[in-house]
Structure 1
Amino acid sequence: MSQAQRAALDAAIRSITFDTSRPPAELREGFRAMTAGRPIPPGVTITPAEIGGRPALAFEPERVTAEGTILYFHGGAWVVGSPATAQALTAGLVHRTGMRAVSPDYRLAPEHPFPAAIDDTLAAYRDLLDQGVPAERIVFAGDSAGGGLAVTTMLAARDAGLPLPAGAVAFSPALDATLSGESMTTKAGVDPLFTRESLGQLLAHYVAGQDPRQPLLSPAVYADLAGLPPLLVQVGSNEVLLDDSTRFVARAAAAGVDVILDVTADVPHVFQSSAGILDEADAALDRAARFVLDHVSQAVLA
């Protein structure tokens, strides 16, 4: 394990000031600056696209070696971010799988609070299906709020009677708008990026005064998870959001879902975005790519 790399990453994150009390426009600019410059893996072409009536980015590997599509949802607490801020992470999956990907630019809060983001991601999924891409050749993936959207979009698709994708990968997903996990307390100060208070400030924009105790806002606590396809949930042990993942996975397993909980020690929120500078990030993306390929192949063969 790369103790020195993990310590350096923790220090680098702590050196960044990300004041969640600032207006959303300032937060978005700060997030763009914070995520800029992350290297794109070689051999991946990124072009503007449209899906589900929204702008998007399309990702194409130099050589397509796997038949399928990754529908990737970017992170940013439903307030900041875009497909461009997550493009290195999306491209990392494309590079490792040899599969195409598309990432929708879903609407953000507070201008468009819950459930606007889910409406947009579900529309993107419907669009893929309407284009003739079989559900069994689609895998959802996402980080942070986007990891939450990977879950809630499946729940919305299930409840709408749509066929479900072959599986989903969630990196450090946000799955509990009530912020009731014990890790909100036990990881306070250990997490170099978030606190319960800072997350509460961001979530207030998205929840917009609605009851957070709803399945599509807090699926780790309140959703019926029966019938979901295989899931891989990756999270770092240093996250205040750790219990979003552990509680969700426990409830999913109890509901009969094939689910893998993949916890990496002493790493922060969405550590996978540090591929190339953190050995554990590359290893986690390798495992995620293997999961994607295994489940698309199994679904196609079935």
Structure 2
Amino acid sequence: MSIHSKLVQAVSRKTIKRHGLNKDQTLKHLRTVFNNTPAVPLIPRGVKIRRIDLPEFKGERVSVHNPRMTILYFHGGAFVGGVTKTYHNLAARLAKQLKAEVFLATYPLAPEAPFPAATERCLEAYRYLLRLDKDPKNIVIAGDSAGGSLALTSLLQIKDNQLPNPRCAVLLSPATTALPEEEKLLAQCPTDAMLSATLVKRIIDLYLPNKEDRSHPYASPLFGDYTGLPPIMFMASKDEILYHDALQAKDRAIAAGVDVEWFARSGVCHVWPIMVPFLPEANRDLKRIIRFIRHYEPTAKSLTEHNRHSQYLATAGATA
């Protein structure tokens, strides 16, 4: 464990982790800490950030010139908060190293917009990329924490709506169930530097006020059918309260025949990979993410087939 990680965990325990809050207190607290990011933006040369505010997509595009692939990223924030600015450092490095464009999507937040508003918006963001004629074999879906849940849910929705799969998905400390086991929450609570059992329960109450919704696969993607999903990378801290969420989803994906890469690390906090370039562990593990995404790079033949299909659609539309 690096000295940087020890410092991050100490600060997280002091500023974020709370016990015994009610729903209103939880909402106010989490929006205060997640909507006021302390990260200093250190954007590599050649990476540009542009705001997008369209009916079909709201968020930001972080991109190099002439990107060769696309990443659709859903931010964390416990379904009640979070801002895309927090992810500028991570998105900029993904864009630079992969010669990519990263779409940082926003979505409706609870409790004003409870489930399923966020899940519907995330699927709409993927449809938006397809309408831009992005080759799905060159799209990666990613997210952390609540955004990791939405990324996994998006894969299920893509399948259910018979849309083409993206290349792969990267899930950082994903929340995968709204029906957590009490014993596991309490067992992991002391070692988690950011989230507590109380916070997890209150977040579920805020996001899913209708208890009947909590077992739905789009609310608890752990219960979804993973058959036919694209390759998935799971990353989780062994010390965090959502460790078992990621672990169970990983096992379910493997059982369904999904190509899975699993990585768990001790001595780091929840969603540590987003803390590049300040956290040594995040810098090292960003390289793992890059390798995973590159491993599934499509062949020249598949890209040619996509281009031919796009040309056919364009011609058909022009002559219709």
- TM-score, scaled relative to structure 1: 0.91
Q: SS in structure 2 opposite 1:95?
A: helix
The CA distance in 1 between the partners of 2:204 and 2:63, in whole Å, is 33
CA displacement at 1:32 relative to structure 2 = 2.2
Q: Which residue identity does 1:217 align to in structure 2?
A: A
Return the letter of the residue paired with 1:6.
Answer: S
Greater Rg over alpha carbons, structure: 2
Question: Any idea what the Cα deviations from partners look like across 1:138-158, whole Å, max 9, x if unmatched?
Answer: 000111111111110110111
SS at match of 1:169: strand
CA deviation vs aligned residue, 1:196-222 (integer Å, no higher than 9, x gap): 2111111211111232112112222x1
SS in 2 for 1:86: helix
- Runs (4 or more) in structure 1 with deviation over 6 Å come to none
Tell me, yes or no, if the aligned pair for 1:181 and 1:244 is still in contact at 8 Å: no
Is 2:233 aligned against 1:243?
Answer: no
Alpha-carbon distance between aligned partners in 2 of 1:139 and 1:247, rounded to the nearest angstrom:
22
Go from structure 1 to structure 2 and tell me whether the alpha carbon gap of 1:154 and 1:264 turns closer, same or farther (over 3 Å shift): same
Instruction: Please list, as runs of the form range in 1=range in 2, the aligned pairs for 1:45-64 lying within 5 A after superposition.
Output: 45-50=48-53, 53-61=56-64, 63-64=65-66
Per-residue deviation, 1:301 = 4.9
- 1:77 is displaced (CA, Å) by 1.1
* Equivalent pair of 1:97/1:290 in contact (CA under 8 Å): no
Whole-Å separation in 2 of the counterparts to 1:95 and 1:292: 14
Structure 2: where are the runs of 5+ without partners? 303-320
Q: Which is richer in helix?
A: 2
The whole-number CA distance in structure 1 between the counterparts of 2:136 and 2:243 is 30
Mapping of 1:106-125 within 5 angstroms?
106-125=107-126
Identity %: 32
Q: TM-score, normalization: structure 2? A: 0.86
Q: What SS does structure 1 have at the residue aligned with 2:217?
A: coil
Gaps of 5+ in 1: none
Specify the alignment match of 2:27 in structure 1: 24
Q: Is the 8 A contact 2:2 2:280 kept in 1?
A: no
Aligned to 2:41, the other structure's residue is in SS state coil
37-46 or 163-172: bigger deviation: 37-46
Q: Secondary structure at the match of 2:49?
A: strand
Secondary structure of the residue aligned to 2:253 is: helix
| Equivalent position of 2:9 in the other structure | 10
Match of 1:134 in 2: 135
* Aligned-pair CA distance for 1:30: 3.0
Aligned equivalent of 1:174: 175
SS at match of 2:154: helix
Higher mean displacement: 200-209 or 85-94? 85-94
The separation in 1 between residues aligned to 2:120 and 2:92, in whole angstroms, is: 24
Instruction: Write out per-residue CA displacement over residues 59-107 of structure 1, whole angstroms, 9 at most, x where no aligned residue.
Output: 012x55x611000100011110122233322223223322111112111
Instruction: Judge conservation of contact 2:16–2:194 (CA < 8 Å) in 1.
Output: no
Count of aligned positions: 296
